[in-house]
Amino acid sequence: MDARPARMAVTAFVLSSCLPFPVAIAAERPEVRRVRGIVHRHQRWTGRVIITGDVQILDAAVTILPGTIVEFAGESSPTVLSVGAGLGGGGRLDVQATPDAPVMFRSADQSARGQIRIFLNAAARDGRVDAITVNGRPAFIRPDAPHSWRNVHFANLCREAALVVHAQGPGPGVEIDSCRFTDSGPVVIETDGAAPVAFTQNRIESSLSPAGLRIDAGRSATPNGVVTVRGNLMSNGIVVAGGVARIEENQLIGPTASVTVGLGADPATVVRDNYVHCHSTDSRRYVFRSDAADVVVTGNVFFGGAFGVYRGTRRMSGNVFAGATQRADDTDGGATQVLVASLPAGAVFENNLLLGPAHSMLIPQPAAAVSSNAGAGEATRVRHNVFDGRKSVARVIHLNPPHSGWADVEITSNLFLHAPSMVMIESEAPARITAIDHNAAAPRPRFVILRPGAAPDLDAAPELGAGFLAFDSVEGLGLHGADWLSDEPVWPHALTDGLSIRSFRESLMTKFGARSNSPLCESDGSVNGSTANEPAPRIGLRPATDKATSLRGPRQTAASIAGEP
């Protein structure tokens, strides 16, 4: 570091102390360091660091002190700060940010955006300085210290990816917590599934990429390679592929807000208690999609998009799906087309609340491209759901649309509200209704089952199965809430600190719960362990009893969850 500024400050002090009158001395400017090329000696960065060309930290350690600003000002885009090397070279970066003195990485201008690349190689540990550290603790030398970023602000970084982490082999994992990303590309984390990943309590506000976070955990995940994505606020989407993932308590609101679970996800993957609100109803936009059929999807609020769920899973329960009308600022879109556009064969779709507007609310069949998945031959069970079309749907359940796969369907114990038709069967193949028992509707729908070439008849009793109930008005159902046609919920349209996703979802579902004197209830106490004094609904939503969905307690880190099943 240049010592001249320090000598000048001392000289100025000596001179000023000899003068007979006070002299104002300008404060010393923050230290400025310019860096490019290979860093192969230990360094401490503080003040302002300007990266004028690609930088590689190789077999060396760099410590970044609190409050430091690292600015990318190279001639190429992206200008890359890399730590380690893909073929086993080591490097270490100790970012000592604090909540009161965060470290910032930013680009000097739009034409030369920066990118950070981290290479974590378990095979390179033999004597090398080969890992990132956390506040001075080497991550791969001490197993309790994962590679960690905390209290870091990333601004105006590369559109393709702002932060890229490649992790190979077992280790303490990757942890990104309490960071902020503005006007930058996505965070990309690629692992072989041998070490845990935690992306928690971060805030991403960017329109540069449809997804703000992309994680690929490989196709051979180990028990230690759990991916946790929890408690983030994001204006765009999450994509997770491979491994065992826990995507929980995230708030995603924006024109590309969505959750995508890719191929290779383990059946132990859980998508739980998220609020995902896609502002756009452009035909390409969906709120949720899973290419892995056995992922658990429970307790979420999915709102908007052209498709609420583009491709569902076999285990979907306790969710709220809501359609949207066209927004004034969404000139390319329209209203939501389908709330749930496909389910794999053998799915159990239960205890969900579906709210219009939408053209169709549920297509309980696989897409033709995935109709050969395991589970084919099993009937899809649609039970104990509430469908409220709010006078803004064409039909509730749509069977055998073009390009759908084969699946028989059981429709039991559901409540249909404000819909002109309950079920439309577009063609006689490939699916059949194998049961349609103990359902209820209010007000009385014009069509119950609409078949091609057949007269729609509400009184087609043989097709309706046992126990069908029709009411002239919603008021006669004995629900907890008022008629929602005049009681519009207040949907969060912007990222909201402190929003309790679970409380918001429960407030929505409680309105559609049946009172003890409701004709939808039975009083024998045979459902969900209720007593005779607390009749359980025979039709519609049932009280939630799955305590496993209530995951609370201390925040988990990549290291602490490694041993969890």
- Three-state secondary structure of 88-116: CCCCEEEECCCCCCCEEEEECCCCCCEEE
For residue 477, being part of any structural domain is answered with: yes
Cβ-contact 443, 413 below 8 angstroms:
no
User: Which pLDDT does position 373 carry in this prediction?
Assistant: 46
| pTM score, whole prediction | 0.85
Beta bridge pairs of residue 494: none
In a domain, 169, yes or no: no
From residue 258, alpha-carbon distances to 114, 211, 236, 294, 305 in Å are 26, 8, 7, 19, 9
Instruction: Note whether residue 147 is domain-resident.
Output: no
**Phi, psi for 275 (deg, rounded to 5):** -115, 115
Give exposure, 76-100, as e/b (b: 16+ Cβ within 10 Å).
ebbbbbbbbbeebbbbbbbbbbeee
The tally of domains found in the chain comes to 1
Helix (H) or strand (E) holding 441, with range, is strand 440-442
Domain limits for position 312: 292-549
Residue 310 maps to a domain: yes
Q: Is residue 144 part of a domain?
A: no
- Measured in residues, the chain has a length of 565
Give domain status of residue 450, yes or no: yes
**Does residue 423 lie in a domain region?**
yes
Question: In order along the chain (565 residues), what is the average pLDDT of each group of 10 residues?
Answer: 41 41 45 92 94 92 95 91 77 90 93 89 48 43 60 95 88 89 95 89 92 88 83 96 95 96 93 94 89 96 95 97 68 73 95 94 82 62 94 89 83 93 81 87 85 56 69 89 65 86 92 89 49 66 55 34 35
The pLDDT assigned to 528 comes to 37
* pLDDT at residue 523, as a whole number: 52
- Give backbone dihedrals phi and psi of 509, rounded to 5 degrees, phi first: -75, -30
**Other CB atoms closer than 10 Å to residue 401's CB: what's the count?**
16
Res 558: pLDDT: 36
Residue (of 193, 214, 194) closest to 258 by Cα position = 214
**Structure letter (DSSP) for residue 470:** E
Q: How far apart, in whole angstroms, are the C-alpha atoms of residue 451 and residue 456?
A: 7
Q: d(Cα 104, Cα 70) in Å, to the nearest integer?
A: 6
Closest by Cα among 253, 249, 226, 216 to 237: 253
DSSP class of 31: P
Q: Give pLDDT, residue 447.
A: 78
Q: Note whether 93 and 132 are within 8 A (CB).
A: yes
pLDDT of residue 169: 76
Q: How far apart are the first and last CA of the chain?
A: 51
Cβ-count burial of 4 within 10 angstroms (0-12 exposed, 13-18 middle, 19+ buried)? Answer: exposed
Is residue 302 assigned to a domain?
yes
Please give the pLDDT value at position 176.
95
Torsion 292-294-298-302 (CA) sign: positive
And the tokens for 94?
């100790």
Q: Which residues pair with 288 in a beta bridge?
A: 259, 309
Please report the pLDDT score of residue 498 as a whole number.
84
